[in-house]
Amino acid sequence: MSLWKRFTLIFRSKANSALDRAEDPRQTLDYSYQRQLELLSKVRRGVADVATSRKRVELQVNQLEQQQAKLQTQAQKSLDMGREDLAREALTRKSALNGQITDLKTQHANLQGEEEKLTLAQQRLQAKIESFRTRKETIKANYTAAEAQTKINEALSGIGEEMGDVGMAIQRAEDKTANMQARAGAIDELIASGALDDVSNPGGNDDIARELDAMSSQADVESELAALKGGGAPQAIDAPDQGAILEPETQKVEGTNEAQS
C-alpha cells in the first residue's frame, strides 16, 4: 500500500469517527422525514398537473363536440333550404373534427391512466411516510431515554466528566488532610522526645529536670514496693531537693575557678 493510500485511509477513518461522534440520530431522522415530505409534495404537484391537463383535454373535447353538433344543425338547415352545397361543406367540417376528437380522447385516456398511477403512488408514499414518522418518534423517544439513563448512570458511578472532577477534588482534599495529620503527628512525637522545643512552654524541660522527674518517679515506685513487702501502707518518699543535687556541681565549678586564679 502506497503512502498516499495509507494517508487517505487514515483520514477517512478519522473523519468517519468524528462524524459518528457528532451525529445525532434524532436530527438525522428528522431530516429524512423532511425529505420524504418534500418528495410527497412533489408527487402531489405532479398529480395536480396531470389532473389539470386531463381537465383541459376534456374541455377541448366538449368544445369540438359542440362544434360538431352546430355543424350538424347547419347542414340540416342548409339542406332544408335547398343549399346542398352548404350542407356538404358543414358535414365536411364535421368529419374533420372527428379526427381531432378521437386524438383528444386518446390523450385524455392516457392522462387519466397516468393520474391514477400517480394517485396510487401518492397514497402508498403517504402511508410509508406515516409509518416512518411513527417509527421515527419511537426511536427518538428511546434514544432520548437511553441518553438520559446513560448520563444518570455516569453521574452515579463517577464516570461522567463533572463527577470525575468532583471525585478528583475530593481525593486531593483527602490526600492533603492525611499529609497534614501525618505532619502534625510527627511534630508531636518530636516534641515529646525532646528533639524539638515546645513553643507553648517557653521554660521547657532541660535534661536535668527530666532526670530529676525520672528519679522522683523511681523513688515512688521503690516506696510502694517496700510497703507491699512490709504489708503496710506505702510511705511517700520525698523527692530529692534539686538544690542539694545541684550544690556539689556548684562547688565543683567554684573550686575550678579558684584554682585558675
Taking a C-beta distance cutoff of 8 angstroms, is the pair 111, 50 a contact?
yes
CA distance 146 to 100: 67
- Closest residue by Cα to residue 217 from 227, 206, 228, 225: 225
pLDDT at 199: 52
Range of the domain at 218: 198-239
Same domain, 202 and 104: no
Based on the structure, what is the number of domains in the chain? 2
Taking a C-beta distance cutoff of 8 angstroms, is the pair 122, 43 a contact?
yes
pLDDT at 256: 47
- What are 46-84's pLDDT values in tens digits? 999 999 999 999 999 999 989 888 888 888 888 888 888
CA distance 198 to 182: 18
- Residues of the chain with confidence (pLDDT) below 70: 1, 3, 5-7, 9-23, 156-164, 194-213, 231-261
Model pTM above 0.95: no
pLDDT at 261: 44
Helices (H) and strands (E) in the chain, counts: 6, 0
Dihedral Cα 53, 59, 60, 65, nearest 10 deg? 150
Q: How far is CA 253 from the centre of its chain?
A: 86
Same domain, 42 and 110: yes
Tell whether 259 is covered by a domain: no
pLDDT at 87: 85
- What are 17-26's pLDDT values in tens digits? 665 666 678 8
